[in-house]
Structure 1
Amino acid sequence: MAYYAVGDIQGCYDPLARLLEQVNFDTSKDTLLCVGDMVNRGDKSLKTIRLLKSLENQCVTVLGNHDIHLLSMLYGVRSPRPTDTLHKILAAPDAHEIGDWLRTRPLLVVNPERKFVLCHAGIYPWWTLEQAQTHARDVEKVFRDPNKCVKLLKRLYSNQPTRWNPDLSKVQRRRFTVNTLTRMRFCSPKGHLNFTESGYVGKSRKNRVAWFEFDNPSLDSYRVIFGHWSALGLVNTRHHLALDTGCVWGRSLTMAKLPKNPDKNIKLYEQPANL
């Protein structure tokens, strides 16, 4: 049984299908880990999400910001944006089933045996892994109830608060949790999230530090697998595996075979966006 992690697909069905063929993915025993942003901007979002949904328990995916955006449109909370490519999903006869499947996907997955953490954007450096799990589960529980899910989606879209505080209101805590796990890139040394910049220059600035450059002892024995940051590109270290290699922008889709022993090397596979 093999574990494969794949970067932001964003509706790029063909490179995904080629990768699954390249690694001889066995739907009876292998597991595909998706870092989120399964849909949008690419031209085959419906085909992509149907494929991932059809893998059932052999596909473990966390929600990305584009996936939550799709949920909001499926439940009438948001209208399509000019850059969206989700019209086929919205008009599909199985749109309701897709919505039900999406809102039951987690925000965070922790595998203590293989020592990996799966999320879309990252782990807030001032949370322990246990705290991140607690906050993620709280939002996941709300999403699993369709009525509560809609109520939260209606109050979700804001950049505030930018910093965690245990005294935040329930809605603020949940908003911060979703923003952290699905949108975070940079933080300030005082713990504020920076949503205005997405580039990456390879070194820290005073109030613009990549979240993974902060020390978090609770993650010392884990590898965090994430996406969301195409400007960052591939990062493959003992503690971090960033897999958004910009397929939807014409570059490539990257897949990683995770070793049973986390100290061993990861095997990488790539498929170009266009053949």
Structure 2
Amino acid sequence: MATYVIGDLQGCLTPLVQLLEQIGYSPEQDKLWFAGDLINRGHESLETLRFIKSLGDNATVVLGNHDLHLLAISFGHGKLKRGDTLMEILTARDRDELIDWLRSQPLCHYDAKLNTIMTHAGIPPCWDLSETLTLAKEVENKLQSDSVDEYFATMYGNTPDLWDDKLTGLDRLRAITNYLTRMRFCDENSKLDLKSKEGVDTASKGYAPWFNYPTKLPEGCHIVFGHWAAIEGETQKSHIHALDTGCVWGGSLTALRLEDMQRFSTPCTINRKKS
């Protein structure tokens, strides 16, 4: 049995099918982890969401910022952006079923046996394992609650940009969400810079990629994440694995086999709809 972590799909189902064929995926023996951003920008967003949902217990998913964007719009908050490919989902016959399934997915997954943690954007340097799991659960509980509407109404925004255990209410949930689904650069105190989005050499003064700082996670713990296509799958850290290799932008789709840390990839044609 093998466990494969796959980077951002963003609505690119055809390359995913090709990648699964390449690795010889067996539903009876293998497990698939998906590092968030299942949908949006690619032209197969609806089909991708249906396919991942159909995998049942074989698939472990964490939510990314594009997935949360879809959920917010479905609840009447946020607006479709230029280049979004979400309308097919929002008007699908099984829309409600898909939205409910997506709402039930976590922001963080940890496997103690594999000593591996997965979120969409990474783990802020200021959080240890227990904090990360506990704080992610706060957002997950809100997503699955009857008061989820107020969360989506206030989800968008770049503040608070510095973690404080004393944060409360919707500000607290927004900060957790931003750390786990939008983070790229931060400073030594884990203060976020959410405006810089390019490569590691584009950091503002006093900021660096979050994975350049010491981690509070257990020794040897592997972090797998997506979100940051501009770094092209490179962190220069043996235990930190970037898996967004820009499939939707004409790059490749990457899978990491956790048992031996071997990578597999398939080249992608540009699947992004013209806007």
TM superposition score category, shorter chain reference: over 0.9
1:136 to partner: Cα distance: 0.4
Tell me the distance in 2 between the aligned counterparts of 1:170 and 1:219.
29
1:202 to partner: Cα distance: 5.0
Q: What is the aligned counterpart of 1:273 among 241, 246, 268?
A: 268
AA in 1 matched with 2:14: D
Tell me the distance in 2 between the aligned counterparts of 1:71 and 1:204.
30
Tell me the distance in 1 between the aligned counterparts of 2:234 and 2:11.
22
- Give CA deviations for 1:139-172 in whole Å, capped at 9, x if unaligned: 1111112x32221111111111000112212211
Q: Secondary structure at the residue paired with 1:100?
A: helix
- Report the number of matched residues: 269
Q: TM-score scaled to structure 2, two decimals?
A: 0.94
Residue 241 of structure 2 aligns with which residue? Answer: 241
Tell me the distance in 2 between the aligned counterparts of 1:87 and 1:111.
35
1:203 to partner: Cα distance: 8.7
Rate the CA distance shift 1:154–1:18 in 2: closer, same or farther, 3 A.
same
AA in 2 matched with 1:98: L
Tell me the distance in 2 between the aligned counterparts of 1:128 and 1:258.
21
Tell me the distance in 2 between the aligned counterparts of 1:274 and 1:205.
33
1:104-253 counterparts in 2 under 5 A? Answer: 104-145=104-145, 147-202=146-201, 206-235=205-234, 237-253=237-253
AA in 2 matched with 1:187: C
1:205 to partner: Cα distance: 6.1
AA in 2 matched with 1:271: T
AA in 1 matched with 2:214: D
| Contact 1:220–1:239, Cα closer than 8 Å, also in 2 | no
1:248 to partner: Cα distance: 0.6
AA in 2 matched with 1:274: T
1:206 to partner: Cα distance: 3.9
| Contact 2:127–2:216, Cα closer than 8 Å, also in 1 | no
| Contact 1:74–1:95, Cα closer than 8 Å, also in 2 | no
Residue 273 of structure 2 aligns with which residue? Answer: none
AA in 1 matched with 2:34: C
| Contact 2:126–2:216, Cα closer than 8 Å, also in 1 | no
Structure 1 vs Structure 2 CA RMSD: 1.6
1:28-177 counterparts in 2 under 5 A? Answer: 28-145=28-145, 147-177=146-176
- Stretches of structure 2 lacking an aligned partner (at least 5 in a row): 271-275
Tell me the distance in 2 between the aligned counterparts of 1:198 and 1:21.
32
Tell me the distance in 1 between the aligned counterparts of 2:188 and 2:194.
15
Tell me the distance in 2 between the aligned counterparts of 1:274 and 1:200.
22
1:184 to partner: Cα distance: 0.2
AA in 2 matched with 1:194: D
| Contact 2:196–2:202, Cα closer than 8 Å, also in 1 | no
- Stretches of structure 1 lacking an aligned partner (at least 5 in a row): 260-264
Structure 1: 4+ residue segments shifted above 4 A:
202-205
Tell me the distance in 1 between the aligned counterparts of 2:233 and 2:92.
34
Q: Secondary structure at the residue paired with 1:117?
A: strand
AA in 2 matched with 1:21: E
AA in 2 matched with 1:226: F
Tell me the distance in 2 between the aligned counterparts of 1:49 and 1:219.
33
AA in 1 matched with 2:206: N
Q: Secondary structure at the residue paired with 2:223?
A: strand
Q: Secondary structure at the residue paired with 2:217?
A: helix
1:191 to partner: Cα distance: 2.5
Q: Secondary structure at the residue paired with 1:33?
A: strand
| Contact 1:188–1:206, Cα closer than 8 Å, also in 2 | no
